[in-house]
Structure 1
Amino acid sequence: MSRKIYVLDTTLRDGEQVPGAKLNLYEKLEIAKQLKRLKVDMIEVGFPASSKGDFDSVKTIAEQVGKDVVITALGRAVKNDIDAVYNSIKNAEQPMIHMVLGTSDVHVEKKFKRSRESILEMGVEAVKYAKTLLPEVQYSPEDATRSDFEYLWQTVEAVVKAGATCINIADTVGYAVPELFGELIKKINYRLKNMNYKVLLSVHCHNDTGLAVANTLAAIRNGADKVECTINGIGERAGNAALEEVVMGLKVHPNYYDGYSDVQTTELLRTSKLVSAMMGLDVQVNKAITGENAFAHSSGIHQDGLLKSRDVYEVIRPEDVGAQEMELVLTARSGRHAFRHVLGNLGYDNLAEAAFDTIYESFLELADRKKEVYDHDVYYLVKEYYTGKNQEFTGNGIELYGLVDFQVISNTLFPTATIKLKKGEETLVQSANGNGPIDALYSAITTMVGKDIQLKEYRINSISRGKDALGRVSIQFQYNGKIYNAKAVDTDVIKASVMAFLNGVNKIVLENKANYEDQEKNQEQHVSNK
């Protein structure tokens, strides 16, 4: 029978230890609420003994979010820390005290400068005291993977007898390797369950050698009941095990790991984006599960296989983690099948073979000059073909927007922007003001296209040694409530920003072509009635 694996998220404690990632109370509350929507079992919300501000934030989160989820906070195995944890989380529905104390000789001798026996006694007394405050107490032997096994087990046995309800084996410095860590967990689990089968066995893995997720999954395979992770793998130094990767690894191989989690995987990407935005830490584009390119395909061989059957190159469907459908990125490496697919989306799926060959050659020439080719680029390649043949170009009822020119005036008083776009045979010009040049440009485009579009996320990054800028946007089309992600590359940061927004608008036009004309008529009727 498959076991439930409990998931503790420590983004708000271990994750916030990243330099520069400090959160205010509002941001912590927003992340905590999203973690609850993600349906993690436990949230570790801080280190309340560290400062009054951290104590207050832990207390507020426990009171406002602490229902239907276990709330815990970390303290050292000393009375003052335990009191701080208790007083900050006691108003949660399911509070749990979490304490940590080193067991490796490095910690015992060099950090504490005490004997093994005195450290063991210190841990036992701390657990006994914590049990007078709350029934649920988690004990973490810090640096467990570099500890002498028999001393580690002696510690575990003693604190369980003192009342600990969860033992959390910490690979504090990312020292472990999956095979040996799995063996360690198996040995501890065997002894622990024979002593008291009700005590949970947990793991907390760091990523110093890039093995945190692998070690965590190896622990599950060998009997761990609970895992501690962070969103996007953030945390001290190289970070922690990435929650989204552990959860999806478990979901892809439930029989192998003999386990499942209750995490709502469709909320993973939303949670990742929220944490990234709040902490100001970008997610690497090729990161598993939540990276921007996690479900993007540019290789012609891959694109051909995916278009025939998605499971050819997809082991996880993007929809399962809350992402959009797979993205086919048109580059010089894309093949004929992928290009024909994009043409079909534009309504040109019945082109004669000679016409297709000519347009495809034009596409390859363009792709050699650009990093990526977008829908509107293909649209205008088709238009140029028909124009060159002196044939009528109807656009199949679809008219995408292309950039002609723009001008911005940036100042602290009244930033303004003017933009010129082409839409079929029509040239459109619009000016607007905003909080800055990008906001002014986006306001002008939104007014020009006449659609209720809201910017949800905007980012600009330097690539290619700073010569190229990558603009990324997420926009919401209020007509259907859907979020559309788009990007563009250019040496001009403002142009890259504009093109990214236009690419998003064109995605809306293409995907909603069936309802687009009806909506446009309704809007025109609404204006005329006024």
Structure 2
Amino acid sequence: MSAYVPEPTEGNTLRTIYFSDTTLRDGEQAPGVRFSTDDKVYIAQQLSKLGVDEIDAGFPASSASAFETCQRIAREVGPLMEGREHIGTPMTIAVLTRTLASDVETSYQAIKDAPRASIRLFIATSDIHLEHKLRITRDQCLQRIDAAVRQARALTPLVGFGAEDAARTDPTFLCQVYQTAIDAGANTVFLSDTVGSCVPAEFYQMVKHVIDHTTYPADTTRWAIHTHNDLGLGVANALAGIEAGACMVDTTLAGIGERAGNAALEEVAMCITTHSKHYRARHDLNTRMFTSLCNLVAERGGTHMAPNKPIVGQNVFRHTSGIHQHGLLRNRSTYEYLDPDTVGATSDGLILSKLSGRSAVQARLERLNIDNLDLNPDRLNLLFAKFKALAEDRAEVSDEDLRQLVGACA
């Protein structure tokens, strides 16, 4: 095995982790990112093919254009089954909604044409939000949740609820919040670290505490998690939430989102893929779409993906160290954990730089079908010396640079 390739798993022994994706809503809240309506419809189509269970298509009550975009996604993407034959259901089209009667009605009108339409309600529950932003009491918050969830459930059988700033909410009150939402009819409930304040152990305890202290129908309730990356722990916290009992994770492609971003879909998924035995879990995503989809989101959103971005960055399968390059030439698994093909990447492998050794230069000569200087040791020594001198002045020596060096050594 050249690098990590997922081993066959016994599907009946592993629980399924479902992915909800909020690239089109929370992802677009990243500073500098903007998607056109056509972009959003196309990205939604690709997310459907990817195998995502649910998307957060937007906030239809915020503007007429947002309403129209969500409506198009519901009508054009909601019924699609391409790439989902192994799942057996179309993707759920969800929209974000405040606990206001007018918002709930507007949201339903936007997505009612989707075969699987979900109204996803939210309200802040931490004391800092209740006091300074909403200016309501805890009891008033519970009343709003109960009324809005019941209204939404009367419109559609799929209703989500999330407590904004759950991680900084009093644990006892937080359990009351979710119990109220579940009793009113919510069947997907999101536990959130809205400002990315938690470390994994803390988030694990919060998720486990709420699940353990809430009464819910196990066969119809999905506990979901929504994490942010302000401390660089969005993915770690999402995985901690899964270990604590959640079966759905809310993510964005490439981790784009408000401030420092959200948990990256491809990172969470590949952690589950590569450590399915640890998490005792599996998923239905087509991981070979990850690289192209993340690049698509960066291109359409007008942003740039860092070259060292885990899983899908352009440097993930590129190597400059001479020691690493020598190992890779013997066996790729020496310095590559993932097989590029599993995430839809291509590996140009060896980057010729001042850190490269002879084995990398000779391998590149062979790839370029250059006669390797007839394997003459003196000419190879001269070429390597010239290569090292040139590499001191640039980050990477190109194939054309190498051809010119070969000519100079003729």
- The TM-score with structure 1 as length reference comes to 0.71
| CA distance in 1: counterparts of 2:342 and 2:283, whole angstroms | 14
1:26 maps to 2:48: no
Cα deviation digits, residues 423-475 of structure 1 (max 9, x gap): xxxxxxxxxxxxxxxxxxxxxxxxxxxxxxxxxxxxxxxxxxxxxxxxxxxxx
In the alignment, which of 382, 385, 389 is matched to residue 358 of structure 1? 382
**1:18–1:234 contact (8 Å) kept in structure 2:** yes
In the alignment, which of 268, 277, 282 is matched to residue 246 of structure 1? 268
In the alignment, which of 177, 185, 193 is matched to residue 199 of structure 2? 177
| CA distance in 1: counterparts of 2:317 and 2:62, whole angstroms | 40
Structure with bigger strand share is 1
**2:318–2:347 contact (8 Å) kept in structure 1:** no
1:272 maps to 2:284: no
1:219 maps to 2:241: yes
Structure-2 change in CA distance of 1:197 and 1:104 (3 Å):
farther
Partner secondary structure for residue 170 of structure 1: strand
Unaligned runs of 5+ in 2: 1-12, 80-89
Cα deviation digits, residues 289-324 of structure 1 (max 9, x gap): 121212111111111111111111111122111111
State which structure, 1 or 2, has the greater radius of gyration over its C-alpha atoms.
Answer: 1
| CA distance in 2: counterparts of 1:193 and 1:327, whole angstroms | 52
| CA distance in 2: counterparts of 1:346 and 1:279, whole angstroms | 36
How far apart are 1:244 and its partner, in Å? 1.2
Structure 1 residue ranges (4+ consecutive) displaced by more than 4 angstroms after TM superposition: 192-195
How far apart are 1:338 and its partner, in Å? 1.0
| CA distance in 1: counterparts of 2:239 and 2:215, whole angstroms | 19
| CA distance in 1: counterparts of 2:31 and 2:355, whole angstroms | 39
Cα deviation digits, residues 171-193 of structure 1 (max 9, x gap): 11111110111122222233447
Q: Could you tell me which residue of structure 2 aligns to residue 406 of structure 1?
A: none
In the alignment, which of 113, 120, 126 is matched to residue 148 of structure 2? 126
1:149-160 to 2 correspondence within 5 Å? 149-160=171-182
Q: Could you tell me which residue of structure 2 aligns to residue 53 of structure 1?
A: 65
| CA distance in 2: counterparts of 1:189 and 1:309, whole angstroms | 45
**2:130–2:137 contact (8 Å) kept in structure 1:** yes
1:27-106 to 2 correspondence within 5 Å? 27-67=39-79, 68-106=90-128
In the alignment, which of 15, 19, 22 is matched to residue 7 of structure 1? 19
Percent identity, aligned pairs only, is 40
Q: Which moved more, 1:282-291 or 1:189-198?
A: 189-198
Paired amino acid for 1:353: P
| CA distance in 2: counterparts of 1:20 and 1:50, whole angstroms | 19
Q: Which moved more, 1:96-105 or 1:29-38?
A: 29-38
| CA distance in 2: counterparts of 1:281 and 1:359, whole angstroms | 40
**2:171–2:210 contact (8 Å) kept in structure 1:** no
How far apart are 1:28 and its partner, in Å? 1.1
1:57-456 to 2 correspondence within 5 Å? 57-67=69-79, 68-192=90-214, 196-347=218-369, 348-349=371-372, 351-386=375-410
**1:318–1:326 contact (8 Å) kept in structure 2:** no
**2:174–2:210 contact (8 Å) kept in structure 1:** no
| CA distance in 2: counterparts of 1:254 and 1:310, whole angstroms | 22
Q: Could you tell me which residue of structure 2 aligns to residue 491 of structure 1?
A: none
Paired amino acid for 1:304: H
Paired amino acid for 2:157: P
How far apart are 1:378 and its partner, in Å? 1.5
Partner secondary structure for residue 132 of structure 1: helix
**2:191–2:226 contact (8 Å) kept in structure 1:** yes
Larger relative contact order (Cα-Cα within 8 Å, sequence gap ≥ 6) = 2
Q: Which moved more, 1:176-185 or 1:15-24?
A: 15-24
Partner secondary structure for residue 369 of structure 1: coil
Cα deviation digits, residues 244-285 of structure 1 (max 9, x gap): 111111111111111111111111111111111111110011
Cα deviation digits, residues 365-421 of structure 1 (max 9, x gap): 1111222111122122222222xxxxxxxxxxxxxxxxxxxxxxxxxxxxxxxxxxx
| CA distance in 2: counterparts of 1:221 and 1:166, whole angstroms | 18
**1:221–1:258 contact (8 Å) kept in structure 2:** no
| CA distance in 2: counterparts of 1:174 and 1:165, whole angstroms | 25
| CA distance in 2: counterparts of 1:182 and 1:82, whole angstroms | 31
- The TM-score with structure 2 as length reference comes to 0.91
Number of matched residues?
Answer: 386
Cα deviation digits, residues 156-213 of structure 1 (max 9, x gap): 1121111110110011111111011112222223344765442100000011111111
| CA distance in 1: counterparts of 2:270 and 2:348, whole angstroms | 17
**2:31–2:259 contact (8 Å) kept in structure 1:** no
Paired amino acid for 2:380: F
Cα deviation digits, residues 118-153 of structure 1 (max 9, x gap): 111110111111110000100001100001111100
**2:125–2:164 contact (8 Å) kept in structure 1:** yes
Paired amino acid for 1:228: D
**1:72–1:89 contact (8 Å) kept in structure 2:** yes
Paired amino acid for 2:69: S
Paired amino acid for 2:317: F
Paired amino acid for 1:328: L
